[in-house]
């Protein structure tokens, strides 16, 4: 008598399921992804503010469909034909452009904030650490000149590791270049509001991020020039744990106000109304 053999049915593969959890990079709390997005990527447990892309920032800040980009074609430059053991600067920048869709570390444009026409510049840390280079400086300059011409408040969101040393002295020249257009805005009494997000360091903190009419920071943002280790080795002292945080700078007068992400749009609107009095 032959064995009865049951025909094996093919096992259906489970449908791929998108992860529904996000782990906070700071406190490691598990948060529903939908809640994370609804809360603008801010942790309810520890108030950690995740870094945003330029598009996420603009969508939070400006009225829907009001944003129009300025100087979109300006891109990186390679005056030194820089190369190191990891490859050429040109190839690194091109790779970053492919990954992010950005031509530079800053996106500039104009839009409406609660109906008020403003000029904005938003840095994106994904592009070479939000570094300041010739393309960044030129886009910033053109946005500042646009704000000057149209008498629009100029709002800048900084997120940077500092000057892009692949361009050498050319990158450092962007510090006075950006401050020069801000001086013209000040002479014309056009408000310039600097918003410092995590991180704002190096040549950006030493130039346009710290010369605003009003300085705003997001909670717990890292803000400073040189790194903690470099400073400690130089002064031979241990720095406090809160050093170079937004809260530390507020206590020492370098920041005017710390604003949570959910309150940023309304706060900026109130400040612009005050500046226009």
Residue 277 confidence class, pLDDT cut points 50, 70, 90:
confident
Cis peptide before 121 (omega within 30 of 0): no
Q: Take residue 24 and report the two structure tokens written for it.
A: 């906070």
Lowest mean pLDDT segment, chosen from 18-32, 151-165, 169-183: 18-32
Inter-residue contact 80 to 166 (CB < 8 Å): yes
Distance CA 193, CA 203 (A): 18
Cβ–Cβ < 8 Å for 174, 133: yes
> pLDDT tens digits, residue range 257-271?
999 999 999 999 999
Q: Are 252 and 224 in contact (CB under 8 A)?
A: no
- Residue 243, phi then psi, degrees to nearest 5: -60, 135
- pLDDT of amino acid 72: 95
pLDDT score for 8: 65
At 19, is the pLDDT very low, low, confident or very high (cuts 50, 70, 90)? confident
Q: Are 234 and 212 in contact (CB under 8 A)?
A: no
Tokens (6 digits) for 208: 């346009």
Which spans in 76-224 are helix H? 89-100, 134-150, 169-172, 174-187, 202-205
Residue 145: count of CB within 10 angstroms of its CB: 16
Mean per-residue pLDDT, 223-248: 94
Q: What confidence tier does 148 reach under pLDDT thresholds 50, 70, 90?
A: very high
Q: Would you say 138 and 71 are in contact if contact means Cβ atoms under 8 Å apart?
A: yes
Exposure of 140 in the CB half-sphere (CA atoms within 13 A): 32
Please report how many Cα atoms fall inside a 13 Å half-sphere around the Cα of residue 241, on the Cβ side. Answer: 0
- Rounded distance, CA 119 to CA 177, Å? 18
| Residue carrying structure tokens 């720095």 | 239
Residue 113 CA to residue 63 CA, distance in Å, equals 6
Domain ranges of the chain: 21-50, 51-275
Query: Which distant-in-sequence residues (6+ apart) come within 8 Å of 139 by Cβ?
Result: 70, 71, 74, 104, 106, 107, 108, 121
Span 60-83, pLDDT tens digits:
999 999 999 999 999 999 999 999
**Nearest CA to 160 among 192, 127, 135?**
127
* Token pair belonging to 96: 């970053």
Measured between alpha carbons, how far is 261 from 61 in angstroms, rounded to an integer? 9
Provide the 10 A C-beta neighbour count for residue 118: 24
Task: Please tell me the pTM assigned to this model.
Answer: 0.91
Tell me which fold the domain 51-275 belongs to.
2-enoyl-CoA Hydratase; Chain A, domain 1 (3.90.226)
Cα–Cα distance, 28 to 193 (Å, whole number): 33
pLDDT at 13 > cutoff 80 = no
């Amino acid at each position: 008598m032959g064995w009865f053999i049951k025909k094996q049915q093919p096992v259906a593969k489970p449908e791929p399921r998108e992860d529904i959890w996000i782990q906070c990079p700071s406190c490691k709390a598990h948060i529903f992804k939908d809640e994370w997005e609804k809360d603008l990527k801010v942790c309810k447990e520890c108030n950690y503010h995740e870094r945003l892309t330029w598009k996420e920032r603009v969508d939070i800040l400006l009225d829907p469909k009001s944003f129009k980009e300025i100087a979109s074609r300006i891109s990186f430059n390679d005056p030194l034909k820089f190369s190191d053991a990891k490859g050429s600067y040109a190839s690194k920048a091109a790779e970053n452009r492919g990954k992010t869709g950005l031509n530079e570390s800053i996106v500039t444009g104009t839009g409406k904030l609660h109906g008020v026409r403003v000029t904005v510049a938003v840095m994106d840390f994904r592009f070479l650490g939000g570094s300041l280079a010739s393309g960044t400086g030129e886009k910033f300059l053109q946005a500042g000149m646009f704000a000057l011409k149209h008498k629009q408040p100029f709002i800048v969101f900084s997120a940077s590791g500092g000057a892009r040393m692949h361009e050498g002295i050319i990158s450092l020249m962007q510090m006075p270049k950006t401050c020069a257009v801000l001086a013209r805005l000040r002479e014309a009494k056009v408000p310039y509001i600097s918003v410092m997000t995590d991180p704002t360091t190096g040549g950006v903190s030493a130039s346009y991020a710290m010369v605003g009419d009003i300085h705003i920071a997001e909670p717990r943002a890292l803000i400073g020039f040189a790194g903690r280790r470099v400073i400690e080795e130089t002064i031979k002292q241990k720095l406090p744990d809160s050093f170079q945080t937004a809260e530390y700078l507020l206590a020492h007068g370098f920041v005017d106000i710390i604003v949570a992400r959910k309150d940023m749009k309304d706060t900026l609107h109130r400040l612009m109304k005050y500046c226009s009095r």
